[in-house]
């Protein structure tokens, strides 16, 4: 019997979010709507008010307490760092 693992299914081990190597793309590109997951509305393309100038989240340790539950469950599956580091060669 063959054990099905991430490797045997053909998935790459690096398909996970690496926010330290991303420009905060999900914090800018994606829209969110005031709901149980977000305390405010944000249009796609507008930077989140919690995004700092170095592309970090100023409330990261308190996301759920601040009402940003949606941010804690989203995973770009590695797209963010790929676009930041490869497509844009590290230039924000």
Residues of this chain that bind ligand SF4 (CB under 6 A): 27, 48, 50-51, 57, 59, 68, 71
Residue 51, strand partner residues: 57
In terms of CB distance, is 74 or 85 closer to ligand SF4? 74
Q: Shortest distance, CB of residue 4 to ligand SF4, whole angstroms?
A: 32
Residue 41, SS3 per DSSP: coil
Shortest separation between residue 76's beta carbon and ligand SF4, angstroms: 11
| ∠ Cα 20 40 26 (to 5°) | 25
Minimum CB separation of residue 72 from ligand SF4 in Å reads 8
**In terms of CB distance, is 27 or 76 closer to ligand SF4?**
27
Tokens (6 digits) for 24: 């905060």
| 59 burial type by CB count under 10 A (0-12 exposed, 13-18 middle, 19+ buried) | middle
């Amino acid at each position: 019997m063959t054990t099905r693992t991430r490797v045997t299914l053909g998935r790459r081990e690096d398909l996970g979010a690496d926010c330290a190597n991303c420009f905060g793309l999900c914090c800018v590109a994606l829209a969110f709507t005031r709901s149980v997951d977000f305390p405010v509305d944000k249009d796609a393309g507008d930077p989140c008010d919690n995004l700092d100038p170095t592309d970090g989240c100023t409330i990261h340790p308190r996301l759920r307490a601040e009402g940003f539950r949606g941010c804690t469950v989203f995973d770009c599956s590695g797209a963010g760092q790929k676009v930041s580091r490869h497509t844009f060669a590290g230039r924000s």
